[in-house]
Structure 1
Amino acid sequence: MLQQIAPNLWHVQHTFSTLGIGISARMTVVRFADGRLWLHSPVPMSAPLREQLAALGEVAFIVAPNKVHHLFAGDAAKAFPNAVLYGARGLANKRPGLRNLQTLTDTVPPAWAADLDLVFAEGFPFANETVFYHKASRTVIMTDLCQWWTGDLNLPAKLYAGVTGVRARLGVPRTIRAGVRDPAAFAGSARKILAWPFDRVIVAHDAIVDSGAHAQVARAFACFTEKY
């Protein structure tokens, strides 16, 4: 269930298996200054989770931040029919059944601007991920661009994380690097992210880095920023 990370910032993890690989994914919840809730990368909406969210405030925004993390966006929209659903560029074509989907752009929606900033990750069309910055908690919220598979993983997950370079520390997985089509543009986006004065980074798979986060993200992105 929901666990608090910082004031007005929570997360919940969802575990599943793909091809025998045990995977943990995360939904992050931000409560805006006006009390409305913003859900990033929804997980399955169980009845207890819906109750916990309702106790925190009104779910006003649901975000599918890239073209991979969208499986439960429709379920979340049904659970909270008054919320506005936002999705990655190209997601509307991939998921035409997502009704009233608003496409994320380079500009922060006005209703979010007091609480969040964003950077669209250029040069990675497979995912078209948008990265967010929660100003009040000085937290970067990512999905797949950086990963760190921690904890007690099953053997296939350990092997996968080791091969992709994200078992021992935060990094850009080799699978992501291989999908970058414009490294210079991606490096430019990484520099914009690093310009934020953040102390914490939350990634979907599966770490929350509370100490030395800026330096660790800089090191992760160095495979691009030091070359392009």
Structure 2
Amino acid sequence: MLEPIDKNIWHAVHHFVAYGVPITSRMTVVCLPDRKLLVHSPIPLTGEMRAQMDALGSVAFIVAPNLMHHLFLGPLAKAYPAAEVYGPNGLRKKRPDLVSLKDLPAAEHAPWLPDLEHMAFEGFPAGKESIWFHRPSATLIVTDLVQCWQDPLPWRATAYALLSGVRHQLAVPRTVRALVRDKQAAARSAKRLLEWPFTRVIVGHNSVVETGSHDLMASALQVF
């Protein structure tokens, strides 16, 4: 089910197993003016979830925020054929089956402005992650770049979080740090990201950080 986070922003969590590790992935739904919905990082669509979204507005945009979070784009695009489907440059090559998929537009020309803004986080070509800021709720939306695994976890997930450096703290996972190819570009992106006046961070895996989020994000990004 979709659960509210703030006015005009909701989330839902999908539980699955990856390489033997129990994990969760979060979908975020933002209601823009004129009741247009943007769905960020889709998860499997249930009948109940679809009824909730249809009651909230019209699904206008479906977004894969990086090269990894794309598995459920197809079913959602099929359910909402009028929606525009976006992903990072390179995803169309990875998913030629998604004929409606378009590259994310330049930030200054995005159709979800002004309520929602996005930027590409540079220096991480394996992910090509986009970062999002919902200005009315002062909410930052990230996917894999930073993580924070706080909930009670099965032992395999706990071990992974500890090894990755994200257990009970907002941090750039060691797995992501190993894939950064241009640290200076990543540092520039980190500086731009921190210019947004966010007070909450929605993380793609496990947590929503509600307290001290800007300072915690600044600390996490010091690795760049």
Distance 1:152 1:126 in 2: 30
What amino acid does structure 2 have at the position aligned with 1:164? S
Distance 1:209 1:168 in 2: 11
Tell me the equivalent position of 1:151.
Answer: 151
Q: Deviations over 1:125-160 (max 9, x none)?
A: 101011010010011110100001121211111000
Q: Is the 8 A contact 1:39 1:62 kept in 2?
A: yes
How far residue 47 of structure 1 moved from its aligned partner, in angstroms, is 1.1
Tell me the equivalent position of 2:111.
Answer: 111
Tell me the equivalent position of 1:34.
Answer: 34
Q: Is the 8 A contact 1:105 1:120 kept in 2?
A: no
How far residue 175 of structure 1 moved from its aligned partner, in angstroms, is 0.2
How far residue 106 of structure 1 moved from its aligned partner, in angstroms, is 3.6
TM-score, with normalisation over the residues of structure 1?
0.96
Q: Is the 8 A contact 2:67 2:90 kept in 1?
A: yes
Distance 2:110 2:185 in 1: 26
What amino acid does structure 2 have at the position aligned with 1:156? R
What stretches of structure 1 of length at least 5 have no aligned partner? none
Tell me the equivalent position of 1:77.
Answer: 77
Q: Is the 8 A contact 2:11 2:26 kept in 1?
A: yes
Do structure 1's residue 65 and structure 2's residue 37 form an aligned pair?
no
Number of matched residues?
Answer: 224
Do structure 1's residue 196 and structure 2's residue 204 form an aligned pair?
no
Distance 1:38 1:109 in 2: 16
What stretches of structure 2 of length at least 5 have no aligned partner? none
Q: Give the % identical residues.
A: 48
Aligned to 1:75, the other structure's residue is in SS state: helix
Matches within 5 A, 1:87-102: 87-102=87-102
- Worse-matched range after superposition: 193-202 or 114-123: 114-123
Q: Is the 8 A contact 1:201 1:209 kept in 2?
A: yes
Distance 1:221 1:39 in 2: 26
How far residue 107 of structure 1 moved from its aligned partner, in angstroms, is 2.0
Q: Is the 8 A contact 2:147 2:173 kept in 1?
A: yes
How far residue 108 of structure 1 moved from its aligned partner, in angstroms, is 4.3
Aligned to 1:166, the other structure's residue is in SS state: coil
Tell me the equivalent position of 1:43.
Answer: 43
How far residue 111 of structure 1 moved from its aligned partner, in angstroms, is 2.0
